[in-house]
Amino acid sequence: MATTSPPNPPAATPPPPERPSGQTPSRSRRSRAARPLALGALGLVVLVIAFIIFGGGGGATYHLIFPEAGQLVKGDQVQVGGVAVGRVTNLELTKNFKAKVTIHVDSSLTPLHEGTVAQVRVPSLSSVANRYIQLTPGPNNKPSLSDGATLPASATRQVTDLDQLFNTLDPKTRKGLQEFIQGSAESYVGAGKEFGEST
């Protein structure tokens, strides 16, 4: 009588050889080396963006000599054609009692060129202390002004105050203008409600 022997169990797979401590697979080594590189690249991108946003994009500083400061203060705007292109950063008195106004101009307008004219302006008659500097850039075919250059008093114009304008009028004209303004004010007294309803 023939007997059948049970099938042999499959051969056990030998366990992988143990690696010495501290040894890692090459793929793991590559991934660990890539992490610092990725973090470094991310940090560089953040620094570049921060420089663009907070660095002001460059620009240049110029000094303007005015006969007087015309009630300018630090932080007042510098404009070209009604567009803000910079700010007043410092004011000081020179040895010959002129006003030295330092401005910083954005890189979109720099460098300025010879022939540039600066004038102190008042936005409106209702604003007494709010002033700004109006720049009229010189032609591009003139030599450029280096960062830190000074525009002399001949290239600046001081503000024209309303009082100075009135002083050019004779007494009779001034009195007539005064009566006209006073009469206009009286004709609108109590008309605020009607103006509000009409809008």
CA distances from 195 to 186, 189, 191, 192, 198 (A): 15, 11, 6, 5, 5
Q: Residue 28 above 70 pLDDT? A: no
Q: Supply the pLDDT for residue 88.
A: 94
Tokens of 92: 């000081």
Each residue's pLDDT tens digit, 137-187: 999 999 999 999 998 888 888 776 555 555 666 778 777 777 777 776 666
**Secondary structure (DSSP) of 58-106:** --EEEEEEESS-TT--TT-EEEETTEEEEEEEEEEE-TTS-EEEEEEE-
* 70-82 average pLDDT score: 89
Give the start-to-end residue ranges of the domains of the chain. Answer: 60-164
Model confidence at 26, pLDDT cuts 50, 70, 90, reads low
> pLDDT tens digits, residue range 109-131?
889 999 999 998 887 654 555 78
* φ, ψ at 67 (rounded to 5°): -60, -35
Task: Give the residue with greater pLDDT, 24 vs 170.
Answer: 170
Burial of 115 from C-beta contacts in 10 A (0-12 / 13-18 / 19+): middle
Q: What is the pTM (predicted TM-score) of this model? A: 0.54
